[in-house]
Amino acid sequence: MALEWEWSSIWQLFATLVFLRTAYRDFLPPELHHFVGFLLRGLMARFNTDIKIIVDEYDGAGNNELYSAAQAYLGSHCLDDARVVRLSKRHDCPLPTASLPSYHTTHDYFQGIPLQWSSVVERASASSSPIRSSSLSSDHRYLELSFHSRHRDAVRSQYIPHVLAEAERIRLLARERRLYTNRYVAFGDDHRNPWSPAPFSHPSTFETLAIDPVLRDEIRDDLLRFVSRRNYYSRVGRAWKRGYLLYGPPGTGKTSLVAAIANLLEFDVYDLELTAVQSNTSLRRLLVCTNPKSVVVIEDVDCSLDLSDRKKKKKEKKKKKSKPDSETEEREMDPSEGGAGWGTSSVNLSGVLNFVDGLWSSCVGERLMIFTTNHPERLDLALLRPGRMDRKFHLSYCCPAAFRVLASNYLDIGDEHELMAEAEALLGEVDITPAEIAEVFMRCDGEGKGADAAMEKVIEEMRRRRRKAAASPPECGHGKLGMENGFLVRRDFRIRGDDDAHV
């Protein structure tokens, strides 16, 4: 009897629910339907303490950046112990990347907050896509982030920005770095990217640089301080950029230093050829088309355009007035003087100054600008002031410390070699560049005893130069570049040094 009573009670309850449902749908007006639904959802929300954030793969404008950032973040932080991981590799990435597969869940912890990520796929129905109902492009993919409601503010204000920042860092480390050069852009061809890329794989590092160790450590410390001070630059109202001038004789390692800087900071390199730029407007467009975390390099800037001192130009113009017209016209057509015959580019000093430190220079982001030259005295002082060239580094002839680095790199020998002391003594008497020493070392590779033969040939070359210097009288007005009382001095020019340069 008890069993019969229970089954009868269940059927009565079921009949009552069906009646109430029918009465709710057929007799109550639609306005009350929304009100009752609202009350029920509020009642259920009081018992459900979890909050879910939906991150769709696509938004209204295309790909959702947060979706790809979350997948990159999960692949690096949350999938180490996962039983199923999706791997993929792009052509511009040296290593494969992991992501959360569909229909799987993983967990994360941020500042003690437990979070759950789930990858969800909603298959499209045949009615919504009758032609390609099984196509993956019609599926709705999204990530679902679940957490307790009391952590709502921390997740939105701290965790989501943390995921975006970490994803950006992961992409930079995983990407294949590029070397860009500017291409010739004809009139009306503005839709094309003005930069032509190639893989950047230069092996130079700060450990292999043959420069003074004190200078090397100074440059490295300045670079690391620069990349870590984004908030400082924003607080003081300065664009997050830094300018370097590398000057010195040919073969002293300026290009190798640029490559070592790019490898240290994991930056792309933009090699700007000024003679291929048509106008100041094109120069600004080149700047806008660069990416953040990049090194913009202009090598031998004094040979590209006429960026010489404007004061000297005024003096030369006064002298021209006193000369015959034919001689004046001949001088104006001389490319070495930066006259009308200087190529087809209309870029001038004003355009370069605005490129380095104008309003448009702050539109890209974290960036380093490096100019190299063998003759800094030819450059206008406005280009060399702090804010444009923040630091000026003189790369001179080979010193004993740089020679030991070269001997270690090319010959695998150290200070204990019997000829090292004599070679270092000769370096104080002759001028020889690291590139010249490296060439001698490379020619001796595999000859005789190898390292001993190379050291003997370098010493013999330095002895020959010493004899030649002793036989030739010194030329008046010539000498090495150097610093004197905080100024770069050579012959009759004077450029502010970097004693008062700051980050």
pLDDT band at 448 (very low <50, low <70, confident <90, very high): very low
d(CA 467, CA 383): 40
Task: Identify any residues that bridge with 370 across adjacent strands, giving them in sequence order.
Answer: 244, 297
d(CA 48, CA 459): 83
d(CA 424, CA 247): 24
Cβ atoms of 370 and 258 closer than 8 Å? yes
pLDDT for the residue numbered 392: 95
φ/ψ of 110, rounded to 5, equals -135, 115
Q: Of 315, 275, 300, whose CA–CA distance to 378 is shortest?
A: 300
Pairing type for strands 367-373 and 241-247 reads parallel
Cβ atoms of 374 and 250 closer than 8 Å? yes
pLDDT for the residue numbered 45: 57
∠ CA 354-355-356, rounded to 5°: 90
Q: How far is CA 455 from the centre of its chain?
A: 39
pLDDT for the residue numbered 280: 86
Enclosing H/E stretch for 489: strand 487-490
pLDDT band at 499 (very low <50, low <70, confident <90, very high): very low
Which of 13-22, 49-58, 398-407 has the lowest average pLDDT? 13-22
Whole-structure pTM over 0.75, yes or no?
no
pLDDT for the residue numbered 1: 46
Residue 221 has pLDDT above 90, yes or no: yes
Q: What is the percent of the chain with per-residue pLDDT over 90, rounded to a whole number?
A: 32
Q: Of 384, 343, 178, whose CA–CA distance to 266 is shortest?
A: 178
For the chain, give the mean pLDDT. 79
Residue 276 has pLDDT above 90, yes or no: no
Residue owning tokens 């004046």: 328
Enclosing H/E stretch for 170: helix 160-174
Cβ atoms of 255 and 202 closer than 8 Å? no
244: helix, strand or coil: strand
Which of 23-37, 426-440, 471-485 has the lowest average pLDDT? 471-485
Higher pLDDT, 365 or 145: 145
Cβ atoms of 372 and 300 closer than 8 Å? yes
pLDDT band at 77 (very low <50, low <70, confident <90, very high): confident
d(CA 447, CA 462): 20
Query: Cα dist. 373→24, 304, 493 in Å?
Result: 85, 10, 15
Residue owning tokens 């690391």: 224
d(CA 365, CA 227): 11
pLDDT for the residue numbered 44: 62
pLDDT band at 396 (very low <50, low <70, confident <90, very high): very high
∠ CA 275-276-279, rounded to 5°: 85
φ/ψ of 330, rounded to 5, equals -65, -40
Higher pLDDT, 444 or 230: 230
Which residues, including other chains, have CB under 8 Å from residue 194's CB and lie 6 or more apart?
182, 183, 185, 282, 285, 286, 289
pLDDT for the residue numbered 189: 60
pLDDT for the residue numbered 486: 38
pLDDT for the residue numbered 329: 43
Average pLDDT over residues 277-287: 87
Q: Where are the beta strands (DSSP E) in 123-263?
A: 140-148, 178-182, 195-199, 241-247
pLDDT for the residue numbered 327: 46
Q: Which amino acid is at 428?
A: G
78: helix, strand or coil: coil
Task: Identify any residues that bridge with 226 across adjacent strands, giving them in sequence order.
Answer: none
Task: Identify any residues that bridge with 106 across adjacent strands, giving them in sequence order.
Answer: 117
Residue 69 has pLDDT above 80, yes or no: yes
Residue owning tokens 């220079």: 361
d(CA 320, CA 332): 10
pLDDT for the residue numbered 180: 94
φ/ψ of 343, rounded to 5, equals 65, -165
| pLDDT tens by residue, 78-114 | 776 677 888 877 766 667 778 888 888 888 999 999 9
φ/ψ of 427, rounded to 5, equals -65, -25
Average pLDDT over residues 269-284: 89
Which of 59-63, 122-126, 203-207, 435-439 has the lowest average pLDDT? 122-126
pLDDT band at 259 (very low <50, low <70, confident <90, very high): very high
**Residues 460, 462, 467, 469: what is their CA dihedral angle, to the nearest 10 degrees?**
160
DSSP secondary-structure letter at 299? T
Average pLDDT over residues 300-306: 80
Rg of the chain over CA atoms, in angstroms?
34
pLDDT for the residue numbered 491: 41
Cβ atoms of 380 and 389 closer than 8 Å? no
pLDDT for the residue numbered 340: 37
pLDDT band at 459 (very low <50, low <70, confident <90, very high): very high
